[in-house]
Structure 1
């Protein structure tokens, strides 16, 4: 029996990395984006549309078994755009999924939902038997983008509580081929593409998770985020950013001020202005 997984934002960075890693015999990846994803292959369906369009989302969710919601602005943007695409878009996705009877939704949240938390708070999680900063640390967003991720998590909780949907919100650190793009901070936040796929597979297959809030990072030597909650769902990370440390740190030691807060440089970005981080 085949399963259909809808991926919103499938032409974006994480979506592009996940497509080859999530392909399986008997699985259809339904790809939704405002642009057509390149090199569509076997076992993939393509739909063009926006997460803000209720009709497009209703069509995309019809017959889907699960949704991986990656669509939206992935960086700081104007408040109007952030509200429309990231917040209203998430509500539109969840409403369409609920109406179509989709039982499970994975939401791509972000570390920027708690960007102003000091990394030193990881010790609080360790005191409580976790292995780092708790995944359900209360919001302290660092940008409008971070606010939109807080709203995403709240909407996911609402749709679970109201309708019984299994919703897992994943506070992703940074998912790139290598951690170089973020410099020294990437040694802390990196989620390797392979580990990201492992995490998504665990979230898709965990029995009756209800509503969960978890961190999405690899098992990095310098990690400050708890993976206890993700491991409880079956996540078994295999990668560590430390193998890139010598090369990354050759350019200089990290700025302590940037490294002191979860959101790093995002905590000093002008609000509402597209960033280059």
Structure 2
């Protein structure tokens, strides 16, 4: 498909949304911004919309005329089921309905490693978790990402809306924990992956892992690379400092033995 020009970015005031507001435009995108809270530095051109995902009319207005949607909005940590249901499940459904009604044909959905969080991390260096590993959500949050992936699949099969679902690891300027050395995606690589997901042809519904080309990588990036994604960064320069401060991962700790890390504890602990 031709490179989309106007992209709706939901969750534009969040951590990842804030990073992508700066990093996506150099790829040639004009961003329309949506968040439930006002953006403190909203553009003066009216391209920033303050609306909740429960507001179906506002969503239709927001998606009207865009070429694609990058859906980052929702609750990004564990919460009560009712809150996850409203924001991440009902809200994502509302967005896809708005896309269907307004004829938007491409969505990039921010899924998460927590959709497969109870998958054991690789036991040896070089072993990689495939993207078709059975889903094993570690929280209501992770469960909502499983729902989002299935919803995307349904809207492709039934309505022809293409989606790339990106199981994001941790996208911060630098990794914060030893675990993140394996799952970290630099902001620059995040923009590269979003651009590839927006421009690749014939994606249908594709699920990919989202991280940089980390030396300590735990999962298989081949489906992301098939979109044209070429990660440029590696978490290894941060490894010595983090390991000196935090120690190596503990093979007997519930927070260290599974892909979802501290989300696999009861109750979940942070950071991600």
TM-score by length of 1: 0.91
The aligned counterpart of 1:209 is 203
Q: How many residues align?
A: 266
Match of 1:229 among 208, 223, 230: 223
**Cα deviation code 1:98-124 (max 9, x no counterpart):** 11110100000000000001123899x
Match of 2:262 among 254, 261, 265: 265
How far off its partner does 1:45 sit? 1.1
Q: Which runs of 5+ in 2 are unaligned?
A: none
Match of 1:60 among 55, 62, 71: 62
The aligned counterpart of 2:157 is 161
**Cα deviation code 1:146-198 (max 9, x no counterpart):** 00000010100000010111111100001111101xx1001011011000000
Measure, in 2, the Cα distance between the counterparts of 1:250 and 1:35: 39
Measure, in 2, the Cα distance between the counterparts of 1:245 and 1:41: 38
Q: Which runs of 5+ in 1 are unaligned?
A: none
- Preserved contact between residue 160 and residue 211 of structure 1 (Cα < 8 Å): yes
TM-score by length of 2: 0.92
How far off its partner does 1:35 sit? 1.1
Alignment of 1:15-164 (within 5 A): 15-24=17-26, 27-41=29-43, 45-120=47-122, 132-164=128-160
Confirm whether residue 249 of structure 1 aligns to residue 243 of structure 2. yes
Measure, in 2, the Cα distance between the counterparts of 1:99 and 1:122: 48
- Preserved contact between residue 4 and residue 199 of structure 2 (Cα < 8 Å): no
- Preserved contact between residue 262 and residue 270 of structure 2 (Cα < 8 Å): no
- Preserved contact between residue 122 and residue 132 of structure 1 (Cα < 8 Å): no
RMSD, matched Cα? 2.0
- Preserved contact between residue 179 and residue 261 of structure 2 (Cα < 8 Å): yes
**Cα deviation code 1:48-103 (max 9, x no counterpart):** 00112211110110001000000000000000000111000000011101111101
Measure, in 2, the Cα distance between the counterparts of 1:269 and 1:44: 44
**Cα deviation code 1:189-210 (max 9, x no counterpart):** 1011000000000001101211
Change (3 A) 1:203 1:254: same
Measure, in 2, the Cα distance between the counterparts of 1:191 and 1:204: 18
